[in-house]
């Protein structure tokens, strides 16, 4: 079994996923847009303003993925975008240096909830909501000697 986070964005999915691929050293998969969907009789047509919005994409980092899309346009029956609530993406890294690098990258244009620092459980931990509205925890995990 594998759990794969699926993130929703408000029109900036392609930019966010390209950023995450860079930050985490991953590779972005194909980007499918709402405009590339075949017409479906049970659905209203996609408005021109939403045709370039991302219907689905992913970033592959090692054997893990983060999947994402922009929200379905309201004109097509989609719900209004709501920022993430009640969850955070947690990233576990092996070194303080890697933790600091990732935390700083995610913090650029974002909001720091808890500065990256040593805690009683970790040599480096911090919480931030990035500029795309995704909440993250960066946690350094040291193997026992």
Residue 145, pLDDT score:
43
Contact (CB, 8 A) for 91 and 137: yes
pTM of the model: 0.90
> pLDDT band for position 38 (50/70/90)?
confident
Q: At what angle do helices 13-24 and 96-107 cross, to 10 degrees?
A: 160
Query: Which tens digits make up the pLDDT trace of 62-109?
Result: 999 999 999 987 656 667 888 889 999 999 999 999 999 999 999 999
Please, which residues bridge with residue 6 across strands?
A: 67
Q: What is the chain's length? A: 145
Residue 39, pLDDT score:
79
């Amino acid at each position: 079994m594998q759990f794969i986070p699926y993130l929703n964005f408000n029109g900036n999915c392609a930019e966010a996923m390209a950023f995450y691929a860079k930050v985490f050293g991953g590779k972005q998969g194909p980007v499918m847009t709402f405009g590339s969907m075949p017409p479906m009789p049970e659905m209203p047509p996609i408005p021109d303003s939403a045709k370039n919005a991302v219907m689905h994409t992913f970033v592959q980092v090692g054997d893990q993925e983060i999947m994402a899309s922009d929200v379905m346009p309201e004109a097509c029956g989609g719900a209004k975008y709501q920022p993430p609530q009640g969850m955070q993406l947690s990233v576990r890294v092996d070194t303080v240096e890697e933790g600091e690098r990732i935390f700083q990258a995610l913090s650029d244009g974002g909001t720091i909830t808890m500065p990256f620092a040593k805690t009683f459980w970790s040599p480096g931990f911090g919480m931030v909501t990035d500029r795309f509205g995704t909440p993250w925890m960066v946690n350094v995990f040291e193997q026992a000697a």
